[in-house]
Amino acid sequence: MKIAVINPNTTQSMTEKIGAAARAVAGPGTTILAVSPSMGPVSIEGHYDEAVSVLGVLDEVRRGEAEGCDGYVIACFGDPGLLAAREVARGPVLGIAEAAMHVASMVGSGFSIVTTLARTVGIARHLVEAYGMTRHCRGIRATDLAVLDLEQTDSSASAAILEECRRAVREDRADAIVLGCAGMADLAKRIGDSLGVPVVVGVAAGVKLVEGLAALGLRTSKAADLAFPLPKAYTGLVAEFAPPRP
């Protein structure tokens, strides 16, 4: 089985971290392709960044289809381009926010999300509602760390994240934590050991869920609104993204 784990930003060190987290949980016989687009923002911290990143995500999915990938994980907590990627892909496609919330709802009675900048809280709240997770989500907490702060080995980012997770358990009465950034993929075990509650990182959750769906022989339905994009001409800068006939 071959799974492409797509980091929608262009920071290679984060892609490598994400790849390591994915390979750590992948089953025997699963090959992880950790990839990132050649174009797009160095980090994703708002609606504009997300919108610009989507073409890069779709380019990686198209490449994965040509290389025979069995499924995809979009490794950004905003799940940018998720539905569009499902139109392009034959196999299952999951976003890490979607995967993490569903898994957290299965191992606790209520989870809190701990994320990066406060400006991304609204994006996370929208996804909580879209995924039907409102009754499970106890709170969404920002650390006000920039995404690229998570790449600085000498920073105090991990301590700030741990402290916010501790507050979530104490103040929100959360009995599970969802880490709201792919750049936190290496922190789950350390924080879980410190707090004594399940800590879910979407990269790992997404890989295991995609593995399971693919093993069940389940592919993305093409019967309705996730059908392949209608072939038509595109113009200007996006001409090369014009959908071919499947």
Q: How open is the CA angle 24-173-80, to the nearest 5 degrees?
A: 50
Q: Which two tokens stand for residue 151?
A: 């790449």
Residue spans of the domains in the chain: they are 2-95+204-241, 97-202
Give residue 156's pLDDT band: very low, low, confident or very high (50, 70, 90): confident
Q: Report the CATH architecture of 97-202.
A: 3-Layer(aba) Sandwich (3.40)
- The whole-number average pLDDT for the span 28-40 is 97
231 burial (CB, 10 Å; 0-12 / 13-18 / 19+) is exposed
CB neighbour class for 84 (10 Å; exposed up to 12, middle 13-18, buried from 19): middle
* For residue 246, pLDDT beyond 90: no
pLDDT of residue 154: 63
Mean pLDDT of 198-214: 98
Quick: pLDDT tens for 48-64. Answer: 999 999 999 999 999 99
Region of 199 please: left (phi>0), alpha (psi -120 to 50) or beta: beta
Residue 187 confidence class, pLDDT cut points 50, 70, 90: very high
Do the domains spanning 2-95+204-241 and 97-202 agree at the CATH topology level?
yes
Whether 205 shows a pLDDT value over 90: the answer reads: yes
Q: What is the pLDDT of residues 77-102, one digit of tens each?
A: 999 999 999 999 999 999 999 999 99
Q: Which of 114, 112, 203, 204 is nearest to 159 (CA)?
A: 114
* Overall average pLDDT of the 156-161 stretch: 91
Percent of the chain at pLDDT exceeding 70? 98
The predicted-structure confidence for 170-182, as pLDDT tens digits, reads as follows 999 999 999 999 9
Architecture of domain 2-95+204-241: 3-Layer(aba) Sandwich (3.40)
